[in-house]
């Protein structure tokens, strides 16, 4: 009897291909079927992942007898369709974020999934990433004293980033933008670390064409009484920056470039080692830690993956930032 957890991968863009790549590293997870609406995406996946089973349609992958989890890695407009198809076939659902194309559709999806009793989770990588868990432990242990300020700084020289160029929807206001795609990870992390986060104000700069996503955004939030400052922008010279900082009474900690953990000592920042063995780097360790949790999810065992209901709360705050008064 095969004890591996079977997963169907719906959507073979950048993130779907990443799932195929990371799943191939494991012996407790097997891709039972992979599918994308784009024939060329299916052809590329078949060429690049010869051990993967490329399904003729989404239903074949989802209904395969070996499928226990359906990973919905499509653009947000299709999350509901494939999540409900998985639910109808008795599969567990692991969905990408943002949860849906807008809050109303997200609310509808959560109602439908919960009414069906379908086990569900959403792919916020900081639920499992070793650097985020080490950050949480240090804060809980009082390493920096009482938290006084949270800062999130995002900059992208080009948006979408070069490796996302094929995902055209990321360029548009309807579904895309870096506030939805990137800041949502940190809103999830803040909620996980501190509890409820509330909106205090924001300003968003959009291009004049009425269609393209934001060029810059600033926001003020509050997480359990701790003020949060967000600055985000795209376009211009210099390296990309993804930095999350928690400043406390006796020091500060930050996540730099997603998975590097640093601590303020004196006038500078010092790397805080985080064990990523047996994986070659922190990024791979984060992906694999998430798949560790996904396997536990498939087994019905305790794990830290956030639910769609949590993802909806994140989406509510993100959309509030993007649509200030």
Residues 86-113 have pLDDT tens digits of: 999 999 999 999 999 999 999 999 999 9
Q: Which of 103, 123, 143 is the last residue of a domain?
A: 123
Give the 3-state secondary structure of residue 118.
coil
318 and 180 together in one domain: yes
pLDDT (average), residues 248-256: 97
Q: Are residues 44 and 81 in the same domain?
A: yes
Q: Are 122 and 69 in contact (CB under 8 A)?
A: no
Q: Examine the domain organization and report whether 141 and 281 are in the same domain.
A: yes
Tell me the two tokens of residue 288: 């694999």
What pLDDT shows up at residue 215? 97
Interatomic CA distance for residues 100 and 11, integer angstroms:
15
- Sheet strands (E) in 132-205: 147-156, 197-205
Residue where one domain finishes, among candidates 123, 156, 183: 123
Q: Residue 301 domain-assigned?
A: no
Same domain? For 103 and 220 the reply is no
Tell me if 117 is assigned to some domain.
yes
What local confidence, expressed as pLDDT, does residue 116 receive? Answer: 98
Question: Is residue 304 a part of any domain in this protein?
Answer: no
pLDDT (0 to 100) of residue 325: 75
173 with 281, same domain: the answer is yes
Please check whether residues 172 and 94 belong to one and the same domain: no
Q: Which two tokens stand for residue 99?
A: 């949860």
The pLDDT assigned to 174 comes to 94
Helices of type H across the chain:
14-23, 39-48, 58-63, 79-88, 103-116, 130-140, 178, 184-194, 282-299, 308-322
Do 110 and 183 have their domain in common? no
Three-state secondary structure call for residue 36:
coil
Is residue 1 very low, low, confident or very high in pLDDT (cuts 50, 70, 90)? very low
Could you give the CA distance from residue 99 to residue 111 in angstroms, rounded to a whole number?
Answer: 13
201 and 262 both lie in a single domain: yes
Same domain, 190 and 114: no
pLDDT band at 45 (very low <50, low <70, confident <90, very high): very high
CATH number for the domain harbouring residue 118? 3.40.50.720
280 phi and psi angles, rounded to 5 deg:
-70, -20
CB atoms within 10 A of CB 236: 10
pLDDT > 90 fraction of the chain, expressed in percent and rounded: 96
**Is the pLDDT at 39 greater than 80, yes or no?**
yes
Is residue 191 situated within a structural domain?
Answer: yes
Domain tally, the chain: 2
- For residue 109 the two structure tokens come to 């999806």
Q: How high is the pLDDT of residue 166?
A: 87
| Residues counted in the chain | 325
Whether 73 and 103 map to the same domain: the answer is yes
- The tokens of 222 are what? 């509050």
Question: Of 72, 99, 123, which residue sits at a domain end?
Answer: 123
Report pLDDT for 2.
61
* Among 86, 76, 68, residue whose Cα is nearest residue 311: 76
Strand pairing category for 241-248 and 147-156: antiparallel
pLDDT at 169: 94
Whether 26 contacts 80, CB under 8 Å = no
Residue whose tokens read 């986060």: 197
On whether both 64 and 168 belong to a single domain, the answer is no
User: Is residue 303 a part of any domain in this protein?
Assistant: no
Assess whether 182 and 266 both reside in one domain.
yes
Residue 298: inside a domain, yes or no? no
3 backbone dihedrals φ, ψ, rounded to 5°:
-90, 0
Q: Does 295 fall in a domain?
A: no
Residue 109 within any structural domain of the chain: yes
Dump pLDDT digits (tens) for 111-169: 999 999 999 999 999 999 999 999 999 999 999 999 999 999 999 999 999 999 889 99
What phi and psi values does residue 71 have, to the nearest 5 degrees?
Answer: -95, 115
Take residue 231 and report the two structure tokens written for it. 């600055």
Instruction: Say how far apart CA 160 and CA 20 lie, in whole Å.
Output: 22
Does position 280 have pLDDT exceeding 70, yes or no? yes
Stretch 180-195: mean pLDDT: 97
| Mean pLDDT value across the chain | 96
SS3 content of the chain, % helix, strand, coil (to 5): 40, 25, 35
> Which structural domain range is residue 62 located in?
5-123
CB neighbours of 145 closer than 8 A, spacing ≥ 6? 248, 249, 250, 251
Q: What b/e readout covers 197-226, taking b as 16+ CB neighbours within 10 angstroms? A: bebeebebebeeeeeebbbbbbbebbbeeb
Q: What is the CATH number of the domain that holds 189?
A: 3.30.360.10
Buried/exposed 60-75: b ≥16 CB within 10 Å, e otherwise? bbbbbeebbbbbbbbb
């Amino acid at each position: 009897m095969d004890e591996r957890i079977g997963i169907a991968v719906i959507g073979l863009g950048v993130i779907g291909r990443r799932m195929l790549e990371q799943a191939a590293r494991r012996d407790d997870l097997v891709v039972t079927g992979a599918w994308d609406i784009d024939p060329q995406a299916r052809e590329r996946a078949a060429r690049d992942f010869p051990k993967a089973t490329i399904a003729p349609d989404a239903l074949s992958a989802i209904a395969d007898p070996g499928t226990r989890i359906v990973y919905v890695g499509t653009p947000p407009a299709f999350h509901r369709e494939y999540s409900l198809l998985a639910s109808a076939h008795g599969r567990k659902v692991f969905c990408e974020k943002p949860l849906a194309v807008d809050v109303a559709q997200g609310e509808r999806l959560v109602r439908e999934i919960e009414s069906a009793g379908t086990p569900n989770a959403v792919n916020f990588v900081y639920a499992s990433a070793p650097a985020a868990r080490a950050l949480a432990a240090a804060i809980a242990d009082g390493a920096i004293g009482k938290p006084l300020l949270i800062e999130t700084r995002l900059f992208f020289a080009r948006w979408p980033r070069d490796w996302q160029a094929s995902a055209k929807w990321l360029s548009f206001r309807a579904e895309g933008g870096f506030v939805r795609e990137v800041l949502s990870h940190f809103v999830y992390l803040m909620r996980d670390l501190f509890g409820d986060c509330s909106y205090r104000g924001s300003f968003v700069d959009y291009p004049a064409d009425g269609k393209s996503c934001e060029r810059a955004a600033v926001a003020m939030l509050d997480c359990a009484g701790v003020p949060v400052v967000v600055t985000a922008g795209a376009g211009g010279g210099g390296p990309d920056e993804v930095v999350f900082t928690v400043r406390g009474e006796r020091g500060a900690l930050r996540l730099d470039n997603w998975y590097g953990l640093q601590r303020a000592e004196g006038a500078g920042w010092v790397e805080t080692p985080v064990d990523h063995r047996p994986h070659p780097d922190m990024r791979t360790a984060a992906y694999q830690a998430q798949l560790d949790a996904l396997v536990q999810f498939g087994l019905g065992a305790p794990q830290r993956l956030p639910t769609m209901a949590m993802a909806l709360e994140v989406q509510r705050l993100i959309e509030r930032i993007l649509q200030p008064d």
